Amino acid sequence: MSSYTSSPISSPISSSISSPISTFSTITEERSTRTMADNIRKYKTEELIDYLQRQDLDLKESYFKIFRQKEISGFDFLETTKEEFCNYGLKAGPAKRLTEFINNLKKQKIRNFSSYKTLKELKDILHKYKVNGEDITCIKQFNPVFEEINDDDKALEQCINEIILRLTNIKSMTDANEATRCEFISSILHASIAISQRLTNKEINIELQRNISGEEAFGRVNYIITGMEDLLCITEGKPRNIKIGYLQNIKQLESLFHMNKWKRTADEIFKDDYNYLYGIVSTGIDWHFIIFASEGIFCTSNSEYQINLTKITLKKNCDILKKDIKQIISIIVGLLKDKISTCDEPGSKKLRVQEKIIKKITR
């Protein structure tokens, strides 16, 4: 995959960063009238095969060879009957399973990210990605990359000053609503992007409340950081239910993963079929990092990455606050640098992920 270029970006974040979106609570999510079949209909043969291989249909590789020989696209697949599958060479069992699968695709509505909000759904998605357990702490862990940042870095200093100012002005973070928490998350993200741009000499952008749509879900994402492709997806998690933040972030990453794949040419897909994205679930105070990769999901749920956003810390030991902010920014910058590097060197993607995975987890 060819790399993109841009002019050097050395300036820190703007002197007046606007607050993320003060009208989050007023944004209404659209109801989808589209079905799963509407997405599958546009698939080319290889995209269709890739999708079917990820479903629990117990299909042999020889059946996918038939799909290639017959050049069956998503549109063709949805219009194929059981008898036609049998005529193509499939046995009665697989033909029946595929016919029932098609009928379900035509009925199954694409869901909004915000509709995923139960622990049962979290268990289901963990099972889907072969997590050995029913809680986020059962997800295989990975070590995030820390980028060394100087204490006198201008973007870091500005971020710290903004957070101190905002923390001084708010009543409390204990019961702060989403818009208030996003004020702090936004400062962290903008500083991280400014530092990453300077270190990589690449253009990196942030998009707020962007609409995305994947195979199974759609909706608006709080923040997406982009370069040549989508790099990092951030979900604002509810303080007392970070697990649902995980659930929604995984569905968002899943959709972004599909979208990135759809953008790639057939040659690029065959050359390097492995890819991954980073995700963040944050309450402003607690920060969790996720890898969504071709081989599964990994996270930092067993590690504590926090920013002590309390007035007591601000008054008694501001150095702790500064240290916390620097740590989170150094992780985000490390993740962005790593992801941008894989855009330049696609062959190293799988190795980069495997190097970060903690092989043995001590509970």
The verdict on domain 36-108 having CATH code 3.30.70.2340 is no
Q: Cβ(240)–Cβ(355) under 8 Å? A: no
- Binned average pLDDT, 10 residues per bin, the chain of 363 residues: 37 42 38 79 89 88 94 95 95 95 91 92 94 94 93 96 94 85 94 96 93 88 88 83 94 88 56 80 95 93 93 87 96 93 69 77 40
Distance CA 160, CA 211 (A): 30
**What pLDDT does residue 143 have?**
92
CB atoms within 10 A of CB 156: 24
Q: Cβ(244)–Cβ(282) under 8 Å? A: no
Domain ranges of the chain: 24-32+112-356, 36-108
Q: Cβ(185)–Cβ(282) under 8 Å? A: yes
**What pLDDT does residue 359 have?**
64
3-state class (DSSP) for residue 182: helix
Give kind and range of the element (H or E) at residue 104. helix 92-107
Residue ranges with strand state E in 265-333:
276-282, 287-293, 296-299
Distance CA 177, CA 184 (A): 12
Distance CA 58, CA 91 (A): 12
**What pLDDT does residue 22 have?**
37
Residues 6+ apart with CB under 8 A from 129: 250, 296, 297
Residues 6+ apart with CB under 8 A from 4: 202, 203, 227, 228, 343
**What pLDDT does residue 317 have?**
84
**What pLDDT does residue 313 have?**
86
Q: Which neighbouring-strand residues pair with 223? A: 208, 234
